[in-house]
């Protein structure tokens, strides 16, 4: 049995096409919502139990890891909900693909005139639509945090440096040339934001889809024993890909909330000029 590149439709709810990857995404979302609700009510219950202690220990480890990137506990706490949710959502989707029944329990449907087997469950991260949506969400969020932290114009100045270009006309031809080069670099940086979203999505999709193909081949060769080492490998790949996606998002968030390049130098020049006068 081949693994199709696109997710297979199971049913329709009005205009919404319900695919097997969408079902998996819903299952993971429900798991996360239930877990968050349990943690919230457990924290309010009074004396912390073993479950709450374990969750707090995990959160502290994650915050310490975030600190190594942001070098700022306040920023780590600010990014924590988004980055941790992405990590857990991707990790659970990756690991659910290794549960018995995923990819093997399904229905027979007529597709393009032929009756084909359609699995009811398929890892959401093996669907390019899902990984692309996650990539866009991650990069879009970096700009939201950048605007909230720095202000719209300071954040936009990282990409389209109109201010530097206008000021350069007062400083001579060398300054104008430098400002034009910086403006062109800003345009490249803008295009790079789209490339980041695509890179995040393709990296995650490629690794998880390749794992699905590998497991299908192994199960086709021999259903017992032989696939076990490859399943263990896929569990490792699942956590590695979740870590890579979330940590890259954290790095992009950290960069987005840093002041624009050259801002400190401009302030230094202004202070020097004021001191001279």
Say if residues 136 and 193 touch (Cβ distance below 8 Å): no
Return the domain boundaries, the chain: 9-276
- Model's pTM, two decimal places? 0.82
The span from the CA of 166 to the CA of 157, in Å, is 12
Residue 126 phi, psi dihedral angles, 5° rounding: -90, 10
The span from the CA of 186 to the CA of 170, in Å, is 21
Q: How far apart are the first and last CA of the chain?
A: 79
Collect all residues with Cβ–Cβ distance below 8 Å to 177 and sequence separation of at least 6.
none
pLDDT reported for residue 133:
94
pLDDT reported for residue 275:
42
Beta strands in the chain (DSSP E): 9-13, 16-19, 106-111, 114-119
Please report where in the chains the tokens 């899902």 appear, as a residue. Answer: 130
Q: How many CB atoms lie within 10 A of CB 116?
A: 15
Say if residues 77 and 248 touch (Cβ distance below 8 Å): no
pLDDT reported for residue 115:
74
pLDDT reported for residue 41:
80
Print the SS3 string covering 217-272: HHHHHCCCCCHHHHHHHHHHHHHHHHHHHHHHHHHHHHHHCCCCCCHHHHHHHHHH
Residue 16 phi, psi dihedral angles, 5° rounding: -85, 125
Bridge partners of 110, per DSSP, are 115
pLDDT, tens only, 195-239: 999 999 999 999 998 888 887 777 777 767 777 787 888 889 999
pLDDT reported for residue 269:
45
pLDDT reported for residue 15:
86
The span from the CA of 215 to the CA of 234, in Å, is 9
pLDDT reported for residue 169:
55
pLDDT reported for residue 167:
60
Bridge partners of 106, per DSSP, are 119
Per-residue pLDDT of the chain (277 residues; tens, 9 = 90+): 566 777 888 888 888 888 888 999 999 999 999 988 888 887 766 666 777 788 888 889 999 999 999 999 999 999 999 999 999 999 999 998 777 777 677 777 766 666 777 788 888 998 999 999 999 999 999 999 999 998 888 888 777 765 555 565 566 576 666 666 666 766 787 888 889 999 999 999 999 988 888 877 777 777 677 777 878 888 899 999 999 999 999 999 999 998 866 554 444 344 444 444 4
The span from the CA of 8 to the CA of 22, in Å, is 10
pLDDT reported for residue 152:
85
């Amino acid at each position: 049995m081949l693994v199709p590149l696109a997710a297979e439709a199971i049913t329709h709810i009005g205009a919404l096409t319900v695919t097997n990857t969408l079902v998996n995404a819903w299952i993971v979302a429900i798991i996360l919502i239930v877990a968050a609700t349990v943690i919230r009510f457990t924290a309010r219950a009074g004396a912390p139990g073993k479950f709450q202690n374990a969750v707090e220990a995990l959160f502290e480890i994650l915050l310490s890891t975030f600190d190594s990137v942001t070098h700022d506990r306040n920023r780590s706490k600010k990014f924590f909900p988004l980055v941790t949710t992405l990590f857990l959502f991707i990790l659970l989707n990756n690991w659910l693909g290794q549960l018995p029944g995923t990819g093997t329990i399904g229905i027979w449907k007529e597709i393009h005139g032929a009756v084909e087997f359609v699995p009811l469950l398929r890892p959401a991260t093996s669907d390019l639509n899902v990984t692309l949506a996650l990539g866009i969400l991650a990069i879009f969020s970096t700009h939201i945090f950048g605007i909230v932290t720095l202000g719209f114009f300071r954040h936009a100045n990282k990409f389209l440096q109109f201010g530097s270009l206008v000021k350069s006309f007062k400083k001579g031809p060398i300054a104008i040339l430098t400002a034009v080069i910086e403006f062109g670099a800003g345009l490249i940086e803008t295009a790079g934001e789209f490339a980041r979203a695509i890179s995040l999505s393709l990296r995650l999709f490629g690794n998880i889809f390749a794992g699905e193909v590998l497991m299908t081949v192994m199960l086709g060769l021999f259903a017992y024993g032989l696939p076990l080492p490859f399943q263990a490998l896929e569990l490792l790949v699942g956590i590695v890909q979740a870590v890579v996606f979330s940590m890259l998002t954290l790095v992009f968030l950290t960069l987005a909330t840093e002041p624009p390049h050259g801002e400190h130098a401009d302030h230094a020049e202004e202070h020097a000029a004021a001191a001279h006068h």
